Amino acid sequence: MATESEVWRERRLPRSGFGRLAKWTFVGFNLWLAAEVVFVLSRIGEARRAVTGGFGQAIVGNMGQAVLFEWLAVWAVGFVLLGGIVVATRGKREMVRVIENVPE
């Protein structure tokens, strides 16, 4: 014989249209900047191989490092801002009452 039992479960509603747009903007932004960092790293290597002499290579390396740090700063700011928007636009949580048959 089974008895009925009241159980409360948590469920999350789906994201709104703006929430989905924010989430995919966040994903696209991260993929784009990851590609940019890889591109900058490859260009630094090519430029250092093209320059002869230690001083020229040092300048190219320092400038490449400065550009890379700029991209990483943009990435960090965008990650925080867009990530905050993504978290803020999650679907609402709600508690749902469910009646279940529980075996004795």
Over residues 19-65, the pLDDT tens digits come to: 999 999 999 999 999 999 898 888 887 887 787 777 887 888 888 88
User: How far is it, in rounded angstroms, from Cα 45 to Cα 62?
Assistant: 12
Domain count, the chain: 1
What residue type is 89 in one-letter code?
Answer: T
Q: What is the pLDDT of residue 98?
A: 84
User: What is the residue range of 76's domain?
Assistant: 2-103
d(CA 85, CA 37): 24
CB of 14 closer than 8 Å to CB of 98: no
Question: pTM (2 decimals)?
Answer: 0.72
Cα–Cα distance measured from residue 16 to residue 18, given in angstroms and rounded to the nearest whole number:
5
Q: What is the mean pLDDT of residues 6-22?
A: 89
User: Residue 1: its pLDDT value, please?
Assistant: 58
pLDDT surpasses 90 at 101: no
